[in-house]
Amino acid sequence: MAGCRAVEHEDGGTVAEALPRAAKALVGVRILNQLGAYALAFLAVLAGPRLAPAALAVFGVAALVSRWSGGLLLERLSPRATIALGLSATGAALLVLAAARTPAQTLAATALVGLAFEIYEPASQELLARVTSGGQRQGAYALLGTSLAAAGAVGGLLAAVLLPLGVRWLIATDALTCLAAAASTAALPGGASRRPAATARRRKPRRPPLPLLRSTAAGTAFAYGHLAVVMFLPLILLQRGAPHWLPGLAMAAAALPAPLTAHLARRRLEHRAHTVVLGAGSALLGLLALLMAVAHGLAVTVTAYLAWTAVGGLLLGRWPAMIADAAPEGDRPRWFAFFGSSWGIAQPVVPAVVAIAAGAAGGTTTAAPLTAAAAFLTVPIVLAGRRARP
């Protein structure tokens, strides 16, 4: 995209320096939250092998509801208020999950976490879209992605330290970072709750346009592939003989190449169409997920995962930038909420599909990356259809 060339501008400044204060404040809030945002990856470990499919399915259904709730709240509250509400509710629910002991308590607490988990996401994307434009917008979304990846590296180190003490320590730490991030939203601008254009459109509902439907279909396949790897990676590594500190350390190490690959993407792929970059990147992710499925050795699995996250860094900021550029300004909150439902749909589908495929694939640790590979490889096909019918 034109306007925001890579990280450096003609005046020598960086993208971060060129962004409005509101965008940088939002990045700071999200970084603070990301320091402990690994509950989803370790939910299967907390629930145990027998309860994990049900827990992940419950979480996914609840998260889909929370994503739509976030979009609806954004029509009544400012982005800052919506973000603060979502983070506060997530932190409180995680404390309940950390205290859960019985299977029934675990499932109920998981549902509470899911109902709050995605509330802040449409508001975060909308706030960035409001305060940026043109090439600066893609740079803002990419900066958010790289910052979260860097914070994820620190979070992975925390997981490596805390997991030997018990997974509940991870959940409790995640809760504290959510509550701290909620408190830091005071630095965000208040802003209006909704635009008059959005109010007028709400009086005459329309079905989602075809570009949004195609983008959401592709996003759902991408989300499935991503979640199938992230949800089951700790379990895969532990069942393949990894010591308990390795999953967290692998997550930390995997986050390190993301800023570099995102920087390279902005320099080399800046003017490439979103659909081209997302399609090619998804195909590479699919091949690496396939390698994780067929290579049962621990060293190969970790290496493939590190390469998988490095490729993912090339795509940071692309999905929300594509939606922000395509959506009419007044309809952006609903576009973000509708597109974001791709993750909510994928979350309950992943454990169900993995459980069904496990019998034929020879176990969960093979089925998860195998189905992830299939999902990733469908993304370029769907996006090709989107390019054919703009």
- The reported pTM is 0.71
pLDDT tens, 42-77? 787 888 878 887 887 888 788 888 888 888 888 888
Q: Does residue 194 contact residue 71 with C-beta atoms inside 8 Å?
A: no
CA–CA separation, 323 vs 211, rounded Å? 9
Q: How confident is the model at residue 156 (pLDDT cuts 50, 70, 90)?
A: confident
Q: What is the Cα–Cα distance from 60 to 57, expressed in whole angstroms?
A: 5
Give residue 369's identity as a one-letter amino acid code: P
Please determine, for residue 231, whether its predicted confidence score (pLDDT) is greater than 60.
yes
Judge whether 229 and 292 are in contact, CB under 8 Å. Answer: yes
- The pLDDT of residue 271 is above 80: no
Residue 269 is classified by DSSP as S
pLDDT attached to residue 260: 72
The full set of domain ranges for the chain reads: 15-388
The dihedrals phi and psi of 19, each to the nearest 5 degrees, come to -75, 150
Rounded Cα distance, 48 and 66, in Å: 25
Q: Phi/psi zone of residue 233: left (φ > 0), alpha (ψ -120 to 50 degrees), beta?
A: alpha
For the ranges 83-97, 113-127, 132-146, 343-357, the lowest mean pLDDT is seen at 132-146
Distance between CA atoms of residues 193 and 32, nearest Å? 24
Better pLDDT: 239 or 255: 239
Q: Residues with Cβ < 8 Å from 217, sequence gap 6 or more? A: 342, 382
Which one has a higher pLDDT value, 311 or 386?
311
Q: Convert the pLDDT of each residue in 186-226 to its tens digit.
A: 888 765 555 444 444 444 456 778 888 999 999 999 999 99
Yes or no: is domain 15-388 CATH 1.20.1250.20?
yes
Look at 14-18, 44-48, 119-123, 197-201 and tell me which has the smallest mean pLDDT: 197-201
| pLDDT surpassing 70 at residue 298 | yes
For residue 14, what are the β-bridge partners? 8
Please check whether residue 168 is in contact with residue 45, taking contact to mean a CB–CB distance below 8 angstroms.
no
Q: State which H helix or E strand residue 4 sits in.
A: none
Across the chain, what does the average pLDDT equal?
81
> Which of 390 and 254 is assigned the larger pLDDT?
254
- Residue 16 pLDDT > 60: no
Is 388 a residue whose pLDDT tops 50?
A: no
Main-chain phi, psi angles of 18, to 5 degrees: -80, -20
